[in-house]
Amino acid sequence: MKLSSIEKKIIENSIRDIKDFPKPGIVFKDITTLLNDREAYGVLMNHLYQKYKEYELDFIAGIDARGFIFGAALAQMLGIGFVPLRKKGKLPYTTISQKYSLEYGVDEIEVHIDAFSKIPHARVLLIDDLIATGGTANAAAELIKQTGAECVEACFILGLTFLDGIKNLQNQTSVYAVIEVN
């Protein structure tokens, strides 16, 4: 399922560019304006529902924190469970974690060890707002795999194609970006 040119424009026009954030030279893609635009958010969520309704998914896993917004809503629409992938130290039960590289250092995300255990070999869609270099997304896909589940696809609202994140993640799973930014 592809977005029509009108739908694509509605979503693109709802995303605000913030120059020099979080540091000089960066153009930050602010999705808060997409979230508070009823029409744009509706177009996006309907598109994601139509795309994934036939995937026979068992869970959606959202990356902390903006992936929670899209993932939980889509999981409810599809009638399946939602699993949060959180920054280290934020989950209350036994977890497994995966480290990943940042521009200046290392970070880590976690998932509950039993997050997908209700369904053996669960089929999981990974979702987040944006993929840039792909470090977090690769770590998240690896965590899903470590639990015994299958990451059938990783979905992002925005894909920064001028960076290697999509290409790198495709070594682990299929990748879909609703809007590609060159």
Please confirm, yes or no, whether 56 is among the known catalytic residues: no
50: nearest Cα among 6, 84, 83, 7? 7
User: Residues 7, 66, 142, 150: which is the catalytic one?
Assistant: 66
Angle at 174 (CA atoms; ends 168, 179), nearest 5 degrees = 85
175 DSSP β-pair partners: 154
153: nearest Cα among 80, 72, 59? 59
* Neighbouring residues of 92: CB distance < 8 A, sequence distance ≥ 6: none
Please confirm, yes or no, whether 123 is among the known catalytic residues: no
DSSP state of 58: S
Nearest-angstrom CA–CA distance, 33 and 88: 28
Residues with a known catalytic role? 66, 103
